[in-house]
């Protein structure tokens, strides 16, 4: 293999790996209605991954800057603004996906075990409640 071929191969591999990262801004899509709900920024801190709501898509008449009234009272996010709130906590990398953390659904205040992975350029977000799970597909924000 000559040097040019090796360089091109290395660039292709690097680009593919970078494209598969969960880090970045993602538009959340409701899996039941197909509606855009928010933009969540996923970031890394201390070798773990977190996700923060940075924008909400609200309908006319809805509170443009709501708080999490439905969060459990012992959750530090109770009655805090949803915009700026970390809803994904303590995710750890393992075999191309992230797990071991939780995700909060601010619409109902429930916290679920969570798994994240990128598939075909889209973020798959799976929330678990016991043996049951639900998966949403989030779109990358350019």
34-73 tens-digit pLDDT = 999 999 999 999 999 999 999 999 999 999 999 999 999 9
What's the pLDDT score for residue 92? 97
Residue closest to 86 by CA, chosen among 49, 35, 58, 127: 49
pTM of the model: 0.84
Count the Cβ atoms, other than its own, within 10 Å of residue 27: 16
Continuous H helices in the chain: 3-19
Query: Which residue segments constitute the domains of the chain, with CATH numbers given?
Result: 21-140 (2.40.128.520)
31 pLDDT band (50/70/90 cuts)?
A: confident
- Return the SS3 of 139: strand
What's the pLDDT score for residue 1? 55
């Amino acid at each position: 293999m000559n040097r040019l071929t090796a360089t091109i191969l290395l660039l292709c591999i690097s680009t593919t790996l970078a494209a598969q990262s969960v880090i970045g801004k993602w538009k959340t899509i409701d899996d039941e209605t197909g509606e855009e709900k928010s933009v969540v920024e996923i970031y890394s801190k201390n070798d773990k991954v977190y996700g923060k709501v940075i924008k909400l898509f609200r309908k006319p008449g809805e509170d443009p800057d709501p708080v999490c009234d439905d969060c459990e009272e012992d959750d530090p996010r109770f009655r805090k603004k949803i915009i700026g709130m970390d809803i994904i906590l303590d995710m750890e990398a393992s075999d191309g996906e992230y797990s071991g953390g939780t995700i909060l659904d601010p619409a109902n205040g429930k916290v679920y075990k969570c798994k994240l992975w990128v598939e075909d350029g889209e973020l798959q977000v799976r929330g678990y409640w016991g043996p049951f799970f639900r998966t949403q597909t989030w779109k990358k924000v350019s």
